[in-house]
Amino acid sequence: MFGGLILLVSLLYLGLLFAIAYYGDRRADRGRSIINNPYVYALSMGVYCTAWTYYGSVGRASSSGLGFLPIYIGPTLIAVLWWFVLRKMVRISRVNRITTIADFIASRYGKSSTLGGLVTVIAVVGIIPYISLQLNAVSASFTLLWGYPELRFDPSDRFTISGLDTALWVTLGMAAFAILFGTRHLDVTEHHEGLVAAIAFESIVKLAAFLAVGFFVTFALFNGPVDLFTQAMADPEAARLATFGADTIDYNQWAWLTFLSMLAILFLPRQFQMAVLENMDENHIRKASWLFPLYLFIINIFVFPIALAGLIVFRNQPMDADLFVLGLPMAAGNEWLALFVFIGGLSAATSMVIVDTVALSTMVSNDLVMPLLLRLRIVRPSERGDYGGTLLSIRRIAIVVIMVLGYVYFRVTDTAASLVSIGLISFAAVAQFAPAFLGGIYWKGGTRLGALSGLAAGFLVWGYTLPLAATHSFGGAPDDFLLYGPWGISWLRPHNLFNLTGLDPVSHSLFWSLLANIGAYVVVSLLTRPSVIEQGQASRFVNVFDYSAESEAIFLWRGTATVQALRSLLERFLGQARTERELNDYARRRSLDWTQMHQADAELVQFAERLLAGVMGAASARVAIASVVQEERLSMDEVLKLLDETSQVRAYSRQLENRTRQLEEKSRELEAATAELRAANERLQELDRLKDDFISTVTHELRTPLTSIRAFSEILYDNPTLDEERRTQFVGIILKESERLSRLINQVLDLAKLEAGAAEWNTTEVDLHALITEAVRASSGMAEEKGVRILTHIDEGRPLFVWVDEDRLMQVMLNLLSNAIKFSPKGRGEVCISTECKDNWLIVHVADNGVGIRPEDQKVIFDKFRQGGDRRMGKPQGTGLGLPISAQIIAHFGGKLWVESEPGKGATFSFTLPLPPSDHR
């Protein structure tokens, strides 16, 4: 009857766990997390306390006294440093979407799938003894309770109750439970809210059950702790347990175990899962670093009293000390408390099995099987298919295999070994992660090969000195292999390597394995050169706090991939709905339009890789991405540059940046200066050329009149007998040429002054109409001489004022008039002057009806010494400086001088002058 009750209550309890997990997931889906607080976080870390703590600690205390404590003191001490170490682990994992501890180490050393595989193997092999411990404890406690009210326990009963192998059934039951519980979600980086809630609940149950039995033993079986201690210490055999010494635990072993458990609390896969991966908020670490040790403290208060009580109560009765916790209430006839205690033990064991199998199966699927399938091309990400389901199946199979291996280990090794000694084997295994892990987050120099050799060396030494040795001590009696070493080689004895004595097997193994591990890790790391991606990852891990989450991620990638290829890859592992959602979110955040985007950029590829990494681990994700992406390797220099820019400590990097910016500014200034210099140089050369042209033109222009003056002077000089008429004619020519010469020189000087800005300007208010009238009168003699009529279309009565230098403007008017008269046909010429006002401008036109100016000449005539018309038509009729000077003057007044003409139809010269604002009313 009672046996059926045990089964019923156990099933009800497991059902309750499911209900809690379901509720936790439901709440998470609705965005109202029940685990997002430091208390649940600290409680979920209580998964550290397994059947080892629950049953084994008392067993340990009854033989080694206070030797059960370092396992809890170590975590308490390391928890002091959690704010540094754990927070860094959490930050790195979140930034890199780490899924397991194997993924963490593989990611750090260049997303190496070999390394991930090795860590997985170590973790699985290392945790198997630990799982066998849980099976051992549950089946033993079940067997003992099954026999109630009889109090008889024979270890071999575990295999034969009612012809059933209880351990095997417990194994299969737990595997089924772990599968149902742990493989419901695919993406392992999404928080397992339900799981965490259930584990936190289990922590409460086991604590309550253990405290219940503690109070019962101390206050019901004895009259309080004083009575219990007084009775126990009266027995010298029990009193010795309260002291340190060779027959309980010595300081050496104490120190080693404290150290070992410091590493275990950081690197046990289930602790990593709960403390790192399920962390919701880094600030929860503050509370957890005293709440979790407090939990350990409370659950340990009654261990020593229960052990002492067990020794007293079962003094004359054979009873496995590991079962005192259950045996005491049974002996007292309290079956309900016994049942509660059994449930407490069950919760301690199930929590460990669930979380560890979730962590290990994820490792096996992501870091061992998937990379293998990808490399062997059994799974081809580029082909159609749903691989999310494949991953889940791998995880389920892995859980069964791990549980069965635990069972096999349990059957093969010494079934009489105490729970704690089995568990310590696992602790020593996960301690092998410490060098590669801690080195990885604090030392950039660690390389993939270093980590591989360190882990392999440590794992081999561990395997030889602990689990292999354990299979050679059946029934607690060591065989020849342990006593004399393989083939009688004494320095190869597994518990006394190199004949080292004075250490217990666990400390001995830990010493040699860590020595080999750290030695190989450091030496090989120093001897090898990290690859490009390793350096990038090293920097991301070690300097994780210098990166602001994702924004500063280094894109150590260059290559090409199509958006379509990436999308279908994601669909195969994440499912269509989720892919759609993630990509749309991504597009919204960056305001992209998928229909416009065909080629994926580095950022998108990295985003896809991180998504995949959340499902299948960094190493697998990398292989999968590589299958659809054409990668180009970055050169070392490029990467170093990237690293230099992004990975330095903030202050240093800002300094660097500043200096770079200064340098850039300087070089930009230099460039600008160079360009200016070049331009100036060109301008100078141009000016030089112009000057040469000018001088040669001027000289040429000066020489023409000079030559004729000289020629006629010589004629007059050589022929004194020349008749009067010819003499007068020649002297007239000389006079005219001299006038031309002086006019030319005056104009050259004038132009030089204007160009140099040295001319004197005497600006006054001038009536333009009066000025035009004056100019016309001045030119009338010349016009009459040539028979040209001058018409003025201006309103002479109405003054039109402008601000100019009157003499200069007169110079322009006269120049334009004389040009017009010069080029007008003789006798029937007509020059027309008109003014108009347009906007703020006053425009003056001087039109003639002469030969006009050819289009190609219309610009040229404003150049110095250039004149329109065909040179063959005869001697130029002016100096060629009038128009350039006029243009300069008008430009000085702020106006413009130009010409419009059609050959044969005359030319119109126009210039503008700004109207004074007062006239613009």
Query: Site residues (CB under 8 A) for another protein?
Result: 66, 69-70, 73, 76-77, 79-81, 83-84, 224-226, 229-230, 233, 239-240, 242-244, 251, 254-255, 258, 286-287, 289-290, 293-294, 297, 301, 304
Q: Cβ closer to another protein: 243 or 877? A: 243
> For 557, what's the count of Cα atoms within 13 Å in the CB-facing half-sphere?
24
- Cβ of residue 300: shortest distance to another protein, in angstroms? 8
Q: What is the sign, positive or negative, of the torsion defined by CA atoms of 754, 760, 763, 769?
A: negative
Q: Give the tokens for residue 374.
A: 């990808």
Q: Which is nearer to another protein, 194 or 310 (CB)?
A: 310
Q: Closer CB to another protein, residue 230 or residue 317? A: 230
DSSP state at residue 464: H
Q: Residue 535's Cα: distance from chain center in Å? A: 14
Q: With respect to another protein, which residue has the nearer C-beta, 48 or 521?
A: 48
**548 Cβ contact list (under 8 Å, min separation 6):** none
> Number of helices (H) and strands (E), helices first, in the chain?
37, 9
What is the rounded distance in angstroms from the CA atom of residue 281 to the CA atom of residue 276?
A: 10
Give the phi and the psi of residue 765 in degrees, each rounded to 5. Answer: -80, 125
CB of 476 to another protein, least distance (A): 28
CB of 76 to another protein, least distance (A): 6
Q: Which is nearer to another protein, 311 or 642 (CB)?
A: 311
- Nearest-approach distance from CB 252 to another protein, in angstroms: 8
Nearer to another protein, 61 or 907 (CB): 61
Closest distance to another protein from the beta carbon of 347 (Å): 24
Q: Where are the alpha helices (DSSP H) in 719-805?
A: 724-756, 768-786
Separation in Å, CA 658 to CA 663, 724, 814 = 8, 92, 64
Greatest pairwise CA separation for the chain in angstroms? 173
Residue number, 197 or 308, with CB nearest to another protein: 308
**How crowded is the C-beta side of 717, counted as CA atoms within 13 Å?**
7
Q: How far is the CB of 294 from another protein (least distance, A)?
A: 5
Q: 214, 346, 353, 329: which is closest to 270 by C-alpha?
A: 353
At residue 386, what is the residue type?
Answer: D
Q: Which is nearer to another protein, 289 or 365 (CB)?
A: 289
Determine the Cα–Cα distance for residues 290 and 80; give it in Å rounded to an integer. Answer: 8
Q: List C-alpha distances in Å: 739 to 154, 705, 711.
A: 144, 9, 16
CB nearer to another protein: pick between 231 and 780: 231
Torsion angles phi and psi, residue 177, rounded to 5: -60, -45
Count of CB atoms situated within 10 Å of the CB of 728: 11
Please tell me the distance from the alpha carbon of residue 501 to that of residue 209, in angstroms, as a whole number. Answer: 41
| CB of residue 86 to another protein, shortest distance in Å | 12
Residue 439 CB, nearest approach to another protein (Å): 19
CB of 546 to another protein, least distance (A): 17
Cβ at position 81, least distance to another protein in Å: 5
Of 796, 795, 854, 864, which Cα lies nearest the Cα of 823?
854
Of 85 and 460, which CB lies nearer to another protein in the complex structure? 85
C-alpha 111/C-alpha 448 separation (Å) is 9
94/287 with CB nearer another protein: 287
Q: CA-CA distances (angstroms) from residue 354 to 121, 286, 668?
A: 19, 26, 63
CB of 265 to another protein, least distance (A): 14
SS3 912: strand
Smallest distance from another protein to CB 452, Å: 31
Give the β-pairing of 788-793 and 829-838.
parallel
Match 């979920």 to its residue by tokens. Answer: 44
